[in-house]
Structure 1
Amino acid sequence: MLDEDCTEAFRKIFSPSCRPPPLPSPDTAPAPWVLIEPLAYVADQTNATTAEASTSTGLTLRVTVCLTDPLGVSYVCVHCPDLNDTDYASRPSVVCSEKDFLLLSVLFLHAPQGREYFVYKAGPGRPSLRLIPGPYPLVLTASDFGLLPRDDGDHFVLAALCYSLTPWVYDLHVFSSRTWAWSTKLTQTEISSDVRTGVSIIIASKVIQLGGGTLGWVDLWRGIAFCNVLDEIPVLRFITLPMLMPGNKDGVKPAPWPLRNVAYSNGLIKFIEVEKHERPDVDETSYDDMDTLCESDCLTKPKEIGWRAMTWYTTTSWDHWRKGCVAYDEEISVDYPRLSKMLPHVRDNVTKELTLKDLLASYPVLSLTCHCDDIVYMLCKLKSCSPKSWLITVDLKEKVLVDLAPFSLEGYFSSAHPSELSSYLKTALATEGT
């Protein structure tokens, strides 16, 4: 039988009736980018970001973005005045967000198409919401959809990479906001024989922009399939991701999000992995140096589990990855006095200094700030059974804890979406403030 905490976690993931948490009132203008919770809430909330659209059955759907700066998690609220919570099969989800666009997936129980997709646009002017017409491409998950804003800012392209019965033969379904219609392209592939042998299928965890008209379908276990979706005959290529770090190779891994993530900025594809590892026992002595053995010497000593984070980077034209940074938990400096009140239980027993050695890190998210290539956000919990958790910001290059904040949201199954939507909502929010 599930305990109370597990029941609440499952309810948060699957139940549309889960209520949104309160957010602090912003004292200043929104940050240039935010972290958005991957699941939206079914809740009647309105503010200057609220936009409306009609569903396929003619019902009114309202979408509201609730913003807070990073180290807090922003979220989206969905509300249909004529529907109850029980009319939703599950919580709506944020599929992806690029610039001032956000793609939202809503699964209705009684709609003809079931799942419907809406595009939210932050501006200029008042935010808008539009239903993407079906029939939709047959995809494994909503994560197969990629969003590509066009250069003029008013238009966008949606693209979905769909499987055929033949390995490495894909149909590319493209929706253009200019024609407001779907079209289908058959891709060509330039995939090495080694990749064809080792990788039979790609299950996208997310889709990222790779510059120009190129989108990359990221399978966080295997690699990135990418092509220029604007080409008449798109050519599909593949980048294999680094192998799992040794500490992540054991055990069942239902989802990659707690361990790995990929982002694109400054022309580079950046990969990060967080690994649990066993720290070497500094007191361990070789039998070669011992004349007598005590009972304690004959017993297996429990290994101390720590973690480390490692980054790699590449481009679409390279045939290799280059190592970025490696940082172990015990190397990360926590020198800020203001952090001591939020981390009262993570002091070293000998030095009494703040340390991250008693925390386990997961769900890494790379920063969207161009000049902060080595900044990563992670969720940390105490190794004990304590429910306390924090969202932390670490500079992996300098090995410094930059900031942290208590994190109370439970039941995550994927990392928060980094989004620039907040910078495009400044006008609407400023108007509301005035």
Structure 2
Amino acid sequence: MADSWSYPDGGGEEKDMQWPPAPPAYGYPDDERPPFVLIDPCAYFADRKNATTAVIDMEAGAPNLRGRLQVTFCAVAPPLVSYFCVHATHMDHTEFAVAPYILATETDGGLVLLCVPTVDPDYPTDHLRPRNCQYFVYDALARKLHQLPQPGFQHRLSQRSLAIMRKPNKSSKNTSNHVSLRPHVHGEAEAEADFVVAAQSYIFWGKESPHICIYDSAIKTWSNKPVVMGSSYPDHHLPSKTLAIGGINGTVAWVDLWHNIIFCDVLAKRPKLRYLKLPSEPRDRGFNPRSVRDIAVFGNTIKYVAMLLRPDDTSSSKVPSCRWMATAWSIDKSRHASAKDWRMVCKLDSTRIMVDAAGTAASFPTLSSLCGSLPTLSLQNDAIVYFLAKIDFSPRQRTAWVLAVDMKNETVEQVVEFPAERTYCVAEGYDASRISAYLQPAPGRKQIHKRPGVSLLKSPSKKHTGDVDAMVE
């Protein structure tokens, strides 16, 4: 996720950019508390405060780590992209290798795992070393920050596989492997509940006795736990997204969006890995699969969406096509599920997308002339998928839009402008999270359930959609 922090190259429009960029004006202060958000994983450096603000006195442990760290979340309902701000009282932004970034959020809860990387004087500023990466956990319910001790070389881990979850209540009579890890009642018991952070070891595959690295907040230490590989483990697996499935054994799903899902009961005494192949064909072409695929958990169901860009590239046209196709799948979250249990929910061809319910063919510039990417499943268990649209995918193309597309009705519901000046690639602009449902609201504020944005049936507002004429030029 560190790549989300773009690097000015001294050419083009970057010369006139404020650096570091200022955060958006919306979402502050305490505008709303939506049930889920699309959130930019990369922080803004800004001294902003609202009801979500948490502070901590940082412990020494890395070069130049000192003073107080302040974290504030600014949430707004999709398709606008929420963000968070970080402020260090005794540190300048130049003392950070990159902006702090989100490593993981609790799948159905209020925990956020943050990485705060400091500059190593012996290495370039854009080079991240494990010993310079400090980990913090933001607890939305308690509005607290926890600094984790350095894992150290003996617990060297893979950042891409990190997951965070609250520990299940041992007194619970429900021993199902798929009960929620969080209590249903928000209160002090939940806010102060212990949590665990788990990840694959840095060298996991190819070892005779692989292990996982676990941090337990109850004892405030890291430990290693061996795992059983099981039979028929896959030849290819590189985690690109992690889900905390839950249950009494703390099941984690490591997802290689190109190939498969690996399930691991991280709280079991001797975790055994289980494997599930994804329904779409592998298309590993050397880029981040998150740019064209996504996965999410909804109760007892796992949903998955995959895009196929430019399916008509074989045409004789000299002009590259912006056409794309997307397919959504679902499967029950069962221990005995196999690849044959995936069910296709819907399939969408971008050339058939409507701009209204009357069936008018899509002719709006955001659909006919823009390239789509970064499919992101709505976390309200509906048919909405969010897509990032740009005129082209070149790093210098800073103008972008987020489209809320109803996959079943083949209709674009809303479109908003996305501040993409920091986004170098199209795989890390935002991700979906339920953290917003647990953020502390300002006094007198109520939870918001509607989706803000601009209907394509109305005149687009330049505030959120940008200049449509400029998009066509």
Counterpart residue number, 1:389:
400
1:253 aligns with 2:286: yes
Residue 143 of structure 1 is aligned with which of 160, 175, 180? 160
Counterpart residue number, 1:295:
none
1:185 aligns with 2:203: no
Change (3 A) 1:432 1:168: farther
Residue 416 of structure 2 is aligned with which of 398, 405, 408? 405
Amino acid at match of 1:381: K
1:208-233 CA deviation, whole Å, 9 max, x = no partner? 02231100112222322211111000
Structure 2 CA distance for aligned equivalents of residues 391 and 168 of structure 1: 45
Residue 301 of structure 2 is aligned with which of 263, 268, 280? 268
1:156 aligns with 2:195: yes
Instruction: Say which is worse superposed, 38-47 or 103-112, in terms of deviation.
Output: 103-112
Structure 2 CA distance for aligned equivalents of residues 277 and 164 of structure 1: 35
- Provide TM-score, normalisation by structure 1: 0.79
Contact 1:274 1:307 in 2 (8 A): yes
- Provide TM-score, normalisation by structure 2: 0.73
Change (3 A) 1:308 1:408: same
Counterpart residue number, 1:420:
434
* Deviation, structure 1 residue 165: 7.2
1:223 aligns with 2:237: no
* Deviation, structure 1 residue 176: 1.6
How many residues get paired? Answer: 386
1:380 aligns with 2:389: yes
1:301-354 CA deviation, whole Å, 9 max, x = no partner? 4474411111122344211222221000122211179xx9xxxxx964xxxx77
Residue 146 of structure 2 is aligned with which of 130, 138, 143? 130
Structure 2 CA distance for aligned equivalents of residues 54 and 108 of structure 1: 16
1:107-163 CA deviation, whole Å, 9 max, x = no partner? 112599411000011124xx11110112353123x2221011233522211111113
Amino acid at match of 2:439: L
Contact 2:400 2:420 in 1 (8 A): no
Question: Which structure features the higher share of strand residues?
Answer: 1
* Deviation, structure 1 residue 65: 0.9
Amino acid at match of 1:363: L
SS at match of 1:410: coil
Change (3 A) 1:168 1:422: farther
Structure 2 CA distance for aligned equivalents of residues 301 and 113 of structure 1: 51
Contact 2:36 2:434 in 1 (8 A): yes
Amino acid at match of 1:33: F
Instruction: Say which is worse superposed, 145-154 or 34-43, in terms of deviation.
Output: 145-154
* Deviation, structure 1 residue 266: 2.6
Q: Which runs of 4+ in 1 moved over 6 A?
A: none
SS at match of 1:225: strand
Structure 1 CA distance for aligned equivalents of residues 365 and 81 of structure 2: 25
Identity, in percent, stands at 29
Counterpart residue number, 1:358:
369
Contact 2:30 2:75 in 1 (8 A): no
1:327 aligns with 2:336: no
* Deviation, structure 1 residue 169: 4.1
Counterpart residue number, 2:59:
56
Change (3 A) 1:361 1:8: farther
Q: Which runs of 5+ in 1 are unaligned?
A: 285-299, 341-345
Structure 1 CA distance for aligned equivalents of residues 366 and 436 of structure 2: 33
Counterpart residue number, 2:46:
43
* Deviation, structure 1 residue 259: 0.9
Q: Which runs of 5+ in 2 are unaligned?
A: 1-7, 61-65, 122-129, 168-181, 184-189, 447-473
Counterpart residue number, 1:291:
none
Counterpart residue number, 1:33:
36
Change (3 A) 1:164 1:307: closer
